Amino acid sequence: MALRQEPHVLVVGGSDSSGGAGVARDIETISAVGVRTCLAVTAVTVQTHDAVIAIHHQQPGLVADQMRAALRANKVSAIKIGMLSTGRVIVAVAAVLSEYPWIPAVLDPVLASSSGRPLLEANAIGAMKRDLMPLCRLVTPNLIELAALVGSELAADDDDALQQGKRLLAAGPQALLLKGGHATGPRSTDILMRPDQEPVRFDALRLAGTMRGTGCMLASAIAAHLANARSLEESVLEGKRFVLEKLRKNSAE
């Protein structure tokens, strides 16, 4: 079938019954960029736009089987990873990634929902850093996630965030995108960090209002552009543009 030869992004993450985040938002975003998707669902959540009511974890073997089937069925050119929920699922996902080291993986380290409910077991952060991050082309923490991943207080400014980023880079990811959406001030700055390279800043006017699922959108858009053989820096820039346009439209409504 011709569809099998088109670039796909394999989305690995949890479902969100409200449609505001999770794999629903991932598919919407990747499709908007013009790339096809395939799926491995890690958890089924019962959510509204205001709260997470219940979480049902998938078995690690089932997650790995979904990934391997999707990878066999399609031309997967990038992998986007979101909610993983448990340490055992992290280990299973890492095992599959290690079999496909040439496919770039983008990890959005989802630790909690917008409403504050934990979406990853607290004791699983070590497994994420040890087993999964070294296999990822890019990890995209916001400032709250960055602080939790390195065991520090929330970064007070860009310099503090850069210091925390350097500590997280030591865990082995090939690159980090530190998202500045939780900072304050009139502008929002994301910082791309890579070992032995100067940080690259992506600066934009901070827009009024909020929107669920922007972290999902950004990581998914980056993965879609990587699937289209764009460079990492180009993919981040285009991903940022995509999210900003969505936020502008949302603010205007």
pLDDT in tens, the chain (253 residues): 555 678 999 999 999 888 888 899 999 999 999 999 999 999 998 988 888 898 899 999 999 999 999 999 999 999 999 999 899 999 999 999 999 999 999 999 988 766 666 677 778 888 999 999 999 999 999 999 999 899 899 988 888 999 999 999 988 889 999 997 555 555 678 999 999 899 999 886 655 556 667 888 999 999 999 999 999 999 999 999 998 888 887 666 5
Label residue 253 exposed, middle or buried (CB < 10 Å: 0-12, 13-18, 19+): exposed
pLDDT for position 113: 65
pTM of the model: 0.92
pLDDT for position 44: 93
pLDDT for position 91: 96
DSSP state of 179: B
Angle at alpha carbon of residue 122, lines to 98 and 45, rounded to 5°: 80
pLDDT for position 186: 54
- 120, 145, 142: which is closest to 190 by C-alpha? 142
Read off the amino acid at residue 204. A
Structural domain boundaries in the chain: 2-252
Beta pairing class for 75-81 and 7-16: parallel
pLDDT for position 117: 67
pLDDT for position 47: 86
Architecture of the domain whose range is 2-252:
3-Layer(aba) Sandwich (3.40)
pLDDT for position 123: 81
Return d(Cα 178, Cα 190) in angstroms, integer. Answer: 5
Return d(Cα 108, Cα 100) in angstroms, integer. Answer: 19
How far from chain centre, in Å, is Cα 157?
Answer: 23
pLDDT for position 185: 56
176 to 8, 39, 92, 150, 223: CA distances (angstroms): 23, 24, 22, 13, 14
